[in-house]
Structures are given as structure tokens and as C-alpha cells.
Chains A and B, each alone.
Chain A
Amino acid sequence: MGALDWWGTPRALETLEGSPVSCLVVTWAEGSAGDAAHQRALAPLAAAARQRGLSVVGWVSAEADLRQAAASAEVSGLDALATESTEPLDGFEVLRFAEVGARQRSGFVGISGAPWPGMSMGGFPFGGDIDASTGPTGPPWIDSNAWRVRVARELEGAQTVWVAFDPPQESRRPLRASSYVQALADTAIHGGRWMISLDPSLRDGLARQESAARSVWGEIGRGLAFFAEHRAWSHYRPVGHLGVVSDFAGDDAFLSLEILNLLSRQSSLYRIVEKDHALDEPFDGLKAVLFVDADTPGPDLRRKLYSFAEEGGTLITPPGWEARGTEIEHAWPPRFRVFRYGEGRLAVAREEISDPYVLADDAQLLLSHRHDGVRLFNAMGTLSHYGLSGDESSGVLHLVSFFSLFSAVPLTVWFRRGWASARLWVPGSGEAATAERRAAEPGVEFHLETVPGYGALEVST
């Protein structure tokens, strides 16, 4: 029996014994003549899964007949179907998936076509033949889905977010356990769930009960348990100093969503402000507001935005907005005319900026690093996400380090806020390690001996 066949048998469920996995997703229909036979073959697995208390979801490709698939799923006792199909269906639960860039509005948001989180080899600063021009993140380029989960939670009203992505095909050797934990973390930071997908080597190894494979699987399980135990962190409010205002839809969707993606990749602290809610939403704590959409907003919102600048903030707009105040000569970046306006600044683009790399980079510089709330040292290839508890008495900084060279180097985290203490949590370690504190002017630094692929620094007053 081949590994793939083995995974279709009830014996495969023994792998899940003691793990936090509570749902099994099986390929259910591909729109081919073999679907019915395939579904019959899966019946014992589905029955065994239900006996173990697992939910079973059938994946239906967009080309398959969703009604037919639902009918067979109901007979087989599946709990739901998952699909990218937009075909309407009543009477059976369907978890709808859409590509990363597509907006959805639902309690459940499924994201498909997502990249495997990690460092892309497209850009690196120190190689002779490697181009360093990788956009505003600065090299190296890192793929991440955390931003997309955040969008689902904040813009699409999702209570449940599933993200589907597979291990990189080009990898020539088995993925490390830490890579799987990073994949879990990148999704879980904002409360999403990765539909775990194993690389062929690990699948084969588990089918053969190899100890190395079981060890990797054990670490994945400990990672899942960790994020389940700390699920409260996913409800922490992201710290944001740059407000990004857009309707995030229609013609503005690509630019505005991609800016969120890019701001996340450079670990910028931003807040998502949907244009329809911008009038009611307080701008407290924001140092700058980036208005993305090409069409100018209505007079009330326009007035609010100008007032924000007049009272000390920085308003960043597309071209065509009324210039107010005194223009600053030689202002940076050169793509903007920048004016002193009241206590703050107004930055009006000279021309339409359609490149999200450029706009995200410029927005961060117009916000200014003087307002950074957190800075990392010796953290090349590390993505961070900073959130605060509801009463702001504690916070968490997620650190996903994709560059193992730096995992052996002490890492320093600086916070503008003078947190009294910090503890580093690492999946599987049980206890959190207290981080050494050193006062800074302003703020405070915490020194971490090493950070493996993922760690969460919990800070408190």
C-alpha cells in the first residue's frame, strides 16, 4: 500500500491520537468520473473519524457539481463541504473559499491559493548576484498570510478563518518542524487556522511510522496546542499608528489590500479604517492617515481628515486634494508635496501612485520612524505583530523568524512603552522565559538569547 492509499484508511487516524486536530478535510469531488468510487473508498475513513469525534469536511473542486457532491456527502455523513465554487446551495453546509485577494463577507472566510509563509529567494542584500530591490519590506522578501487573516477578521466580519496552502513544491528536502510551526503561527496570530498540509516526505514517513516523521508531527501538535491555549492573544487589538482608509473594494481593492499586505511585511503598525466607518471611528492614537482611494470622500469625512492634520497628524492623500498650509521645500519622499498645516502635515501625491510597494514605503516614511512603537535588532527575516489586551495592561509581540542564521543570535526588542516585564513563550517549551530588561531613552529594551522559528513575547505593566 502506498503512502497516499494509507492516508485514505482509518489507520491514518491513529496519527491524530492525542493531537488537537479536530477536523479532517478530505478530497471529495473533482468533477471526474472517478468521484463516486473515490467517495465510496473514503467511507470507512469518514466513519472512523466520526467515531473519534472528528468533523469531516469534503473538499469539492470548483469544476465539480456541488449539488451532487452535497448529496453524496450527506449520505456519507460528512459535516460540511469546502469549495471555491460560487454555485449556490441550500440545505447542506458549505464553507466557501476564495483566492487571497478576493473580498468576502461571511462568518466563515476560507482563503485559498495562499503562499507558504517564508523567505522568498528573490531578493537578498548581501549576495553578489542577488538583487536587493524587493520593495518596501527591504530585503529579504517574506511571504505571509497573517495580513489576510487580519483583513478577514476586521473587514469581512469573519469569526472563523481557514487558510489553505501547501508546502513549497521546490523544496528538495523535508521541511523542518519549525517551518510547520511558522506556518501555524503565521495563520494563528490573528486567529486563523491553517488547513494543515504535509510535504510528501512527511506524509510518507508518517505512513511508515518513522521516528523522525513522528517527531515532526509531534512538534506540529505542540504548536497547535500552543495556539489553542493562547487563543486570547488573537483577540488583542493590533497596535496601529498609521490609519489606512479605503473602501477596500472595487477599483480600490487591489491597491488598498496590497498596501495592508506590504505594511504587514515591513512590520509597520497600522490600523484598518473602512471608509464607511471612518466618520464615526475615532482617530485616537494615529499619527498619520493614508487615504488610498482615488475618489475624494464626502465633505464630512474630508473635513475630519483635514482636521486630523491640522491638529497634529499627517494626512497622506492621492493627487488632486486641496493644498493647505505652507509647502515644505525638499520634503521627503519626492513623490509628495508636503505642507505644514496647523500643528501637523499634509502630504499630497504629485501623481497617482499605483504601485503599492512605493505607496506603502512612502506612507511609512511620511508617518516617520520617530513614531515606531517597537523595533527589532538582529531580526533580519523576522515578521512581527504587536497587539494589546483590551485594558492595555499587557501585550504580545509575535516573532516569526524565517532566517535561521539569526535564530542563534541574541535578539533585542525595543518598545516605546516602558513595559515592566516580558516573557518569551515558545511552543512546546511549557514555561515562558523571562527576558532581560534594559531601560532605554525613551522606552525599554528586552534581550532574548535566541528566538527559534516562532516565539511570542508577552509584555506587561
Chain B
Amino acid sequence: MSRRSEQSGHGATRREFLAGSTAVLGLGLGRLVPLAGAAPAATVSVAKCDSYSSAELVRSLDRMFDQLGGLGRLVKGRTVAIKLNMTGVGGFRLGTARQGETYWVHPRVIGAVVHLLDRAGARRVRLLESAYATAMPLEEFMYKSGWEASDLARAGRRVEFENTNWLGRAREYSRFPVPGRPLLFPSYLLNHSFEDCDTFVSLAKLKEHITAGITLSMKNCFGNIPTTVYGDHVPEDEPADEPRSGREGVFHQGARQPSRPAAPEVDPASPRDAGYRIPRVVVDLCAARPVDLAVVDGIDTMSGSEGPWGLGERCHPGVLLAGTNCVNTDAVGTAIMGYDPMASRGTKPFETCDSFLELAEEAGLGSRDLSRIEVAGTPIREARFDFAPLKRGRREYRSWRPDPEEH
């Protein structure tokens, strides 16, 4: 089992990363609570973008990346891995709208980002996603879902694809320990692609989420997890050869532990409530495999859920976000959605779950305090698009089951 190197996100060493997150204040009962004010705050760029015209996307994103200090410092000569947001089986649409117009990052946004990374000198760009319940190559998953993967392959000089829902081409999974104080698992076994990259990009969708309240760039990383190790039906003693299911048993319900040699969860007596667990997994993952660049597609999206199964509605915020700190970026995104990023459990959009923004801030990953985050480009008040009045659908995870009498 390989171990992630000391090199962490943003070119910082792990030691530096930990140093940055150890501004903690000891309280009673031995709990360590970090000083929120110490969590990093970096610029977040916001742009209004009305359509998925490739030219407009490239123009907008180029300007946004410049506002962050330019892509070159992040990607020149490096291998860049981009975690896409393509949740679900791929054959679902919200009504007749294409996935990219509702709950997946739009393929033209991917193409534009790949093009700009390539132009900025990235040595190679790797597109990653854990395709639902299959080990088929990511390109095949894209084709099957109606995307022309070859268009994405042509967006840069060296573009690769990897389905990260299983071991893939590596001989072993990469172990990512959670630095500092893990919230749910002490470490995570992931596909090698998350280790074999110099720069990690989370390219996500601006949308709500049934279990976690919102998706954005941090929750997107939940899809880093391979279901061959953390799936519902995998053997206990070793990972499965191929993915066959989702991850609800291990993560949402806490009904079982992952396959060995993945580490069992820190506290098996912790709540088995998905609203407790999922936000903590998200924070763990973003700490273990830091996001170097967060890009959020909020041009066309949907309300109420992360996918059509949540019964939300299509909407058009017409906005793009980018930032080098995923917590800052998601805090700004939350505000653009009309919600308070400082909200805690019980307040929209976190009515039934803990806020992963709050947990991430406590873990020192980044600030959610808008007064500390510089917003470049379009001000939040001009980009704001309220999700609260939109159709919300169901607000809890529920399995779909067929009618046993159906023929």
C-alpha cells in the first residue's frame, strides 16, 4: 500500500500544512477546537456566464484564473488531475434536460478548463470520476451517457481518463491519512490517480444535495472514494475486483466497515446518521487529498438535490466560481445560492445535516467567513440566485425500489 508523499496541496509540505492547521484552542473534555479565524482565506473569483458557448467559457474562465494569480503557478510542467462531477448511473435526466444542464458539470466547461490548463503549461491533464457501479473506462461511461469523450481528449495535448471507482491501472490503492484530527476515518484508500498528480482540481456543479445540503467543490470529492473498497457488497477481508454498488452502507448508514486493508472508522459508536457522517467524510477527504483549484459550474443546474432522483427543478443561475481554497470557494457559492455559509445544522441548507463548511473551518481547511474572503469579479450580491424558493423534492436519502408486483 503506497503512502501519500509529504507533498500536500498548494505546493506546501505536509508539515507546513499541519502547521497551518494547528492553531487550536483546548477546551474542556479534551476536545480540540481550532480558531476559526485562523483558517485560510484566499481569493474566490466569480463571473456571470450566461451560456455554455465555448468561446464565452474560455474567456470567462481565463479571466477568473488570472484573478486567482494565474494558472501557470499551479500547473506549469505538472500533472493535473481533475475530479469531475458525474454522479449516478448516467442514464438519468431531470425531465429532458441533459445531465450537463442540470446535475453534472457541463462537458464544455470541462473542455474549457482542460484547454486553459494545457495552455498554461500542464504536462498532462487527467480526468477522473468514479463511474457508478462499474469499472468500465471513464471514456466509455461518458459515451454511454451521451458525451463525446473524444472532444474532451482533444481539448489538450495530453488528456487521459481514469475511472477511479476501483483499483484501475495501479497494483495497489493509495492510502491518504487524514492530517490532524480525522472526523470519521483515519485514512482513505483511493485510486492511484489522486496520488499520481501534482495539482488536484475539483470541477463541480453548483447544486443542492439531499444528504449534505449543498454539493459544490468539497462534496464533489465524496466521489473520490472507490466502491471496490467502500461499497455495500464488498468482501470484508479484501477489496472487490470491480465496483457493483454505491457506498451507502459504509458512509450514509454506518452499517458496515470498509474492506481491509482500509482503516475502520475512528469511532464506531459515533452516530449512524447520514447527516452526521457525510459532512465529516467530505471534510476528511478534503484534508487528506487537498483541492488545489476549485471550479464550480453554476450556469445551468438544478435545485433540491444532487440528481434527478431528488425531484428538484432546473434553474439558471448563470454563474461560474473558481478559487484555490475549496472551503472559501464553497462558502462563496453557498452565499450565491442565497444561503448563509455560516449556518449550522437546522438552518437551510443544512436542515438535516451538519455543515461541512463549519466542520472544514474547524479543521482549519479554510474560512467560510465572507468578511475574510476576497471576491474578485462579480460581487456576490450581483451573482446571487436564490435556491430556497425552488422546488426541493425529498429531503432525505431513500432507496428506489420497484413494485414487487410490477410486471
Q: How far is the CA of A314 from the CA of B10 in the complex (A)?
A: 44
In the complex, chain B residues whose CB is within 8 Å of the CB of A140: 402
- CB neighbours of B253 from chain A (8 A): 128
B96 pairs with A447, CB closer than 8 A: yes
Verify if B91 is at the interface (C-beta below 8 Å from A): yes
Asked if A368 CB lies within 8 Å of chain B CBs, one says yes
Cβ-defined contact, A376 with B136, below 8 A: no
Q: Are B146 and A377 closer than 8 Å at their CB atoms?
A: yes
* Stretch among B26-34, B74-82, B241-249, B264-272 lining the A interface: B241-249
Residue of A124, A172, A378, A436 near B93 (CB, 8 A) is: A378
A74 interface residue per 8 A CB criterion: no
B403 at interface by CB-CB < 8 Å: yes
Contact A403 B143 (CB under 8 A): no
Contact A403 B136 (CB under 8 A): no
B15 interface residue per 8 A CB criterion: no
Q: A380 on the interface (CB 8 Å rule)?
A: yes
Q: Are A126 and B399 in contact (CB under 8 A)?
A: yes
For the complex, give the distance between the alpha carbons of A433 and B139 in Å. Answer: 35
One digit per residue, 1 when the CB lies within 8 angstroms of any chain B CB and 0 when it does not, for chain A 401-414 equals 01111000110101
Question: What chain A residues lie within 8 Å of B96 (beta carbons)?
Answer: 377, 410, 412, 436, 438, 445, 447
B399, A128: Cβ atoms closer than 8 Å: yes
Instruction: Name the one of A175, A330, A377 contacting B91, with C-beta atoms under 8 angstroms.
Output: A377
Residues in B with CB closer than 8 Å to A369 are 140, 143-144
- With A and B bound together, what is the CA distance between A175 and B403 in angstroms? 13
Contact assessment for B149 and A370 in the assembled complex, using a CB-CB cutoff below 8 Å: yes
B389 at the interface (CB under 8 A from A): no
Are A441 and B148 interface neighbours, CB within 8 A? yes
**Are B406 and A404 interface neighbours, CB within 8 A?**
yes
Interface residues in A328-375 by Cβ distance below 8 A to B read 330, 332, 365, 368-370, 372, 375
A contact residues around B146 at 8 Å (CB):
375, 377, 414, 440
How many residue pairs link A and B with beta carbons under 8 A? The number is 109
B233 contacts which chain A residues (CB < 8 A)? 131-133
CB distance from A281 to the nearest CB of B (A): 28
Q: Is the CB of B133 within 8 A of A132?
A: yes
At the interface, yes or no: A113 with Cβ under 8 Å from chain B? no
Tell me whether B137 and A377 are in contact (CB under 8 A).
no
Contact of A379 among B91, B134, B144, B249 (CB under 8 A): B91
- Which B residues are closer than 8 A to A by beta carbons? 89, 91-93, 95-96, 133-134, 136-137, 139-140, 143-144, 146, 148-150, 169, 232-233, 244-246, 248-249, 253, 308, 399-407
Q: By the criterion CB–CB under 8 Å, are B404 and A332 in contact?
A: no
Contact of B136 among A365, A372, A381 (CB under 8 A): A365
Q: Min CB distance, A110 to chain B, in Å?
A: 23
State the main secondary structure of chain B at its contact with A.
Answer: loop
CA distance A127 to B232 in the complex (A): 10
In the complex, the answer to whether B401 meets A124 with C-beta atoms within 8 Å is: yes
Q: Which 7 A-B pairs have the closest CB atoms?
A: A369-B143, A126-B400, A118-B407, A369-B144, A447-B96, A126-B399, A179-B407
User: Residue A51 at the B interface, CB < 8 A?
Assistant: no
- The one of B89, B248, B402 that contacts A405, using a Cβ cutoff of 8 Å: B402
Known contacts A131-B233, A378-B92, A410-B95: A119-B133 contact under CB 8 Å: no
Task: List 17 A-B residue pairs with CB atoms under 8 Å apart, sorted by A's residue number.
Answer: A119-B402, A124-B401, A128-B248, A132-B233, A332-B136, A365-B137, A365-B140, A368-B143, A370-B150, A372-B144, A375-B91, A404-B406, A405-B400, A409-B95, A412-B93, A412-B96, A441-B148
Interface flags for A148-179 (1: CB within 8 Å of B; 0: not) read 00000000000000000001100111011001
Q: Give A340 to B404 CA distance when docked, in angstroms.
A: 47
Does A249 touch B at the CB level, under 8 Å? no
For window 121-146 of A, CB contacts with B under 8 Å fall at: 121, 124-128, 130-133, 138, 140
Q: CB-defined interface of A423-451 with B at 8 Å, one 1/0 digit per residue?
A: 00000000000001010111001010000
- Is A377 a contact partner of B143 (Cβ separation < 8 A)? no
Tell me if A97 counts as interface (CB < 8 A to partner B).
no
List, in ascending order, chain B residues with CB within 8 A of A409's CB: 95
User: Which of B96, B233, B253 counts the most A-chain CB atoms under 10 A from its CB?
Assistant: B96
Bound: A410/B253 CA distance, A: 32
Contact A125 B150 (CB under 8 A): no
- Within 8 Å by CB of B405, from A131, A172, A414, A436, lies A172
- Cβ of A59 under 8 Å from chain B: no
Most buried by B among A172, A173, A405, A441: A405
A386 within 8 Å of B (CB atoms)? no
Known contacts A125-B89, A128-B248, A370-B143, A442 near B136 by CB under 8 Å? no
- For B144, the closest partner residue in chain A by CB is A369
Among A133, A365, A403, contact of B244 (Cβ-Cβ < 8 Å): A133
Whole-angstrom distance between the Cβ of B321 and the nearest chain A Cβ: 26
- Is B244 touching A132 in the complex (CB atoms < 8 A)? yes
Question: Which residues of chain A have C-beta atoms less than 8 A from B404's C-beta?
Answer: 121
Does the CB pair B405–A171 fall under 8 Å?
A: yes
Nearest B residue to A172 by beta-carbon distance?
Answer: B405
Kindly state the separation between the CA atoms of A332 and B143 in the bound complex, as whole angstroms: 15
Given contacts A118-B406, A128-B248, A140-B402, 4 further A-B contacts (CB under 8 A): A119-B407, A130-B401, A370-B148, A378-B92
Q: Complex Cα distance A234/B128, Å?
A: 43
A434 to B325, CA, bound (A): 50
Residues of B within 8 Å of A375, CB to CB, are: 91, 144, 146
CB neighbours (8 Å) of B140 from chain A are 332, 365, 368-369
Q: Tell whether A116 is near chain B: CB-to-CB under 8 Å.
A: yes
Q: Which of A132, A375, A409 has the most CB of B within 10 A?
A: A132
Among A387-413, those with CB < 8 Å from B are 402-405, 409-410, 412
Q: Is the CB of A376 within 8 A of B245?
A: no
How close is A442's CB to chain B, nearest CB, in angstroms? Answer: 7
Q: How far is the CA of A275 from the CA of B55 in the complex (A)?
A: 52
A404 touches B143 (CB 8 A): no
- Smallest CB gap from A167: residue in B: B407
Say how far B193's CB is from chain A's closest CB, in angstroms. 13
Determine if B402 and A121 form an interchain contact, defined as CB atoms under 8 angstroms apart.
Answer: yes
Contacts of A377 in B (CB 8 A): 91-93, 96, 146
Q: Interface code A210-236, partner B: CB below 8 Å = 1, 0 otherwise?
A: 000000000000000000000000000
The smallest beta-carbon distance between B214 and chain A, in angstroms, is 23
Residues of B within 8 A of A380 (CB): 91-92
CB-defined interface of A171-204 with B at 8 Å, one 1/0 digit per residue? 1110110010010000000000000000000000
Q: Report how far A414 CA is from B147 CA in the complex, Å.
A: 11
Alpha-carbon separation in the docked complex, A329 to B196 (Å): 18
Assess whether A175 is in contact with B407, with CB atoms less than 8 Å apart.
yes
Distance to closest chain B CB from A361 (angstroms):
9
Chain B residues whose C-beta falls within 8 Å of the C-beta of A368 in the assembled complex: 140, 143
CA–CA, A409 to B143, complex, Å? 23
Smallest Cβ distance from B110 to chain A, in angstroms? 15
- In the complex formed, the residue of B with least CB distance to A117 is B407
Determine the distance from Cα of A1 to Cα of B23 in the docked complex, in whole angstroms. Answer: 89
Most buried by A among B95, B149, B406: B406
Contacts A402-B407, A405-B402, A442-B148 given; does A372 touch B143 at CB 8 Å: yes
In the bound assembly, the distance between CA atoms of A118 and B403 in angstroms comes to 12
Q: In the assembled complex, how far is the CB of residue B174 from the closest CB belonging to chain A, in whole angstroms?
A: 17
Shortest Cβ distance from residue A206 to the other chain B in the assembled complex, whole angstroms: 19
Please state if B91 and A125 are interface contacts (CB–CB under 8 Å).
no
**Distance of A173 Cα from B407 Cα, bound (Å):** 11
